[in-house]
Chain A
Amino acid sequence: MSARDAILNALQQASAIRISNGDTIPERPSFKVMHRDYQGHRPLSQQLESMISKVKGEVIRTSQGKLDETVQAVLREKNIKRLLLSPESPYIQSFDAFLDETRLYDEAIENWKSELFNDIEASITSTLGGIAETGTLVLWPSVSEPRLMSLVPPIHIAILYESQIQPTFWHFLRHQKWSEGMPTNALLISGPSKTADIEQTLAYGVHGPKELVVVLVEEESEE
């Protein structure tokens, strides 16, 4: 018998005995504890900002109209010269004036691994939304924004729309019906990479980004 059959047989036999002893398959549990009262976008984004700030995430608020300007200011302030962008990024031309290089993630990682690991200083990615209670960004890496964009460069700049913030991860899964189709990789990111493995001393930037900048685009109709 294969290992698979042996394991499944043992489990199925135990199950069958339980059912013959009167056990029934339980109903799905109630997720009532996950429910939250409705809040507007602004309280949610404030909660997200407060939570992510506690783990050294920077939040910069802006409006749709000033988005380009805000991102440029971040790049200047951090003195970023080599930036990684998605080939579909709307910023491809807009930073040419002060960047040494704008690298597009347009070929397989195998062809430029060492450049990504050694030369790129920052990347800009979009987000699918945010989670208020935990101060979390939700990312679905894709063909145009591959997984390593948000992981290898020392500075990760993420654009988050205030209207896309949910109170908890559970609300995200529910409202966006994730169970109907998952991408190869989905990610929750809550701050820059960190560790406390040396005598519980918190140290940022161990393997992933050392800095996380959230450019938060506020809803203009709000209030």
Chain B
Amino acid sequence: MNTTTDPFQERSEAAVKDKKLRANFLSAMNGLMEKRDLAFDDKTQLEALRILGAQVRQNSLVKLPELLVELETKLIQKGVQVHWAQTPTEAVDIIQSITLKEKATKIIKGKSMVSEEIHLNDKMEQIGVECLESDLGEYIVQLAKETPSHIVMPAIHKNTAEIADLLHEKTGIERKEDALYMTEQARLQLRQNFMEADIGLSGVNFAVAETGTLCLVENEGNGRLTTTVPKTHIAIMGIEKVVEKLEDTAPLLSLLTRSATGQPITTYFNMISGPRKEDELDGPESVHLVLLDHGRTQMYQDDELLDTLRCIRCAACMNHCPVYTRIGGHAYGFTYPGPIGKILMPHLEGLDETQSLPTASSLCGACAEVCPVKIPIPDLLVRLREEANHPNAQSSNVKGAGVKRRGMEPVIWSMWRWWHQGGTRYRLMTTTLSRLRFLQPGTLSPWTNTRTLPKLAKKTFHQQMNARAKK
């Protein structure tokens, strides 16, 4: 592989050299790790809760097709309109057609990573509909014409000074490096928009099949405004977000907020079970739910990769990842960065597009150690590395499998294996190599770009041990 043209390689090299970016991420990740640790002061209880969290998610996934039908039935009974989309394009089409039907020109948005996944804002702009982000971090990222660099803290890559510059330049407020002042200004700027928007669009943290309830976790209140003030509410979620029972939300909520930001709970937990009833005085008149597949059924078909779908998007894996901390979220180049992104994006976009992601890990295992639902992320990374070298792409469950397989590489490895399988031929090979050590190249790029190449020994290990035995 020609590594110099790999965009991930280029982006991560640039990110590692960006001192300001690294300082921003380092201090943020250190802070988040410490907060999480303090929030789970009882490690025995944490472990028991993680086991329950994993079971709740796993059990819901086992019953996923039934639960989706149950969720749909309950939501329809309550007057929610349910839409299904296999691809991002289908999801965008559904949202565009609702927008056209409602003659809407302005959408106010709560934070939704699935809407990022389908690049909704750009697509809506193309038909002349404005999408305005109302989560403060998303608002900042949108003003900067960037994408979120973290799934919980979208603007974490920027420091206060950079945000002060941005808000001054884009919104005309006074330039003050004061988070409280800037927050107040954003409140004022967005208030009018909540009143004017025709549609509110949000994500979903958990969808409860038993009761037909859409749950939203947030701190700012923008999620509540988004889902309450405009005439129409559109919620969008991946099909895996469903849980079986209402009580399942309790342990998941507790794990989610503590893992994400170290909070015992977020300021708001909003449980929506339908549009405004006839006698009610506020709330949206119509509620839509868009259920998106986008590679999720692919993961579902594989017993091992299925575990990826347990994720509750807390971002603890990226907060604890030594790679993420050093390169930041944008270097990955895809909607979901960090460890979860590395095991998720190959299914969403295909391994051919994302082949660098599973290898961008030292397999240190910190992500699996903190995952609140016990996703074995390093195992899945190794599995995806194998899939990228899969000898028969047709028989693989993963789109783009075999993309990294090169003609000579498997031949070399099978020779390697053959050499190591017999005592005589192994000794013959090592003796030959030690005799031919003068032919050894001085550098072996790219490996030796940052390392010294070890020199082959004059005598093989066997020869040295035999010599010792004779003494």
Contact = CB atoms under 8 A, between A and B. Distances in A.
Interface in B386-427: none
B64 to A, nearest CB: 6
Interface in B200-230: 210-213, 219-222, 224-225, 228-229
B434 interface: no
A56 to B, nearest CB: 10
A174 interface: yes
Interface in A105-133: 105-109, 113-114, 117, 131, 133
Interface stretch (A37-45, A190-198, A215-223): A190-198
Contact of B297 (A11, A33, A197): A11
Interface in A170-210: 170, 173-174, 178-179, 182-201, 203, 205-209
Contacts, number: 251
Given A10-B297, A33-B49, A193-B267, A205 B184 contact: yes
Interface residues of B, number: 95
Interface string B49-66: 101100110110011110
A195 B264 contact: no
Contact of B186 (A32, A106, A206): A206
Given A148-B228, A198-B155, A117 B269 contact: no
A26 B55 contact: yes
A8 B268 contact: no
Interface in B18-57: 24, 28, 31-32, 45, 48-49, 51-52, 55-56
Interface residues of A, number: 78
Given A117-B195, A197-B140, A206-B136, A33 B251 contact: yes
B16 interface: no
B247 A170 contact: yes
B297 A183 contact: no
Contacts of A12: 65
B360 interface: no
Nearest to A173: B247
Contacts of A117: 191, 194-195
Nearest to B251: A34
Interface stretch (B2-10, B274-282, B336-344, B449-457): B274-282
B239 interface: yes
A20 interface: no
Interface of B: 24, 28, 31-32, 45, 48-49, 51-52, 55-56, 58-59, 62-65, 68-69, 78, 84-86, 90, 134-137, 140, 153-156, 158-160, 163, 179-180, 182-184, 186-187, 190-191, 194-195, 210-213, 219-222, 224-225, 228-229, 239, 245-247, 249-251, 253-254, 261, 264-277, 279-283, 291, 293, 297, 300-301, 303
Interface of A: 2-4, 6-8, 10-15, 18, 23, 25-26, 28-34, 51, 55, 105-109, 113-114, 117, 131, 133-136, 142-143, 146-148, 151-152, 168-170, 173-174, 178-179, 182-201, 203, 205-209
25 contacts: A2-B84, A7-B68, A8-B65, A14-B301, A25-B63, A33-B251, A34-B52, A108-B282, A109-B281, A117-B191, A143-B277, A146-B280, A174-B247, A178-B246, A179-B247, A182-B213, A184-B277, A185-B270, A190-B266, A194-B220, A197-B153, A198-B183, A201-B180, A206-B219, A206-B220
Given A193-B268, A206-B186, A207-B190, 20 more contacts: A7-B84, A8-B69, A25-B63, A29-B52, A31-B247, A31-B251, A34-B52, A107-B281, A113-B195, A147-B283, A179-B245, A182-B271, A186-B213, A188-B269, A192-B267, A199-B24, A205-B184, A206-B219, A207-B220, A208-B267
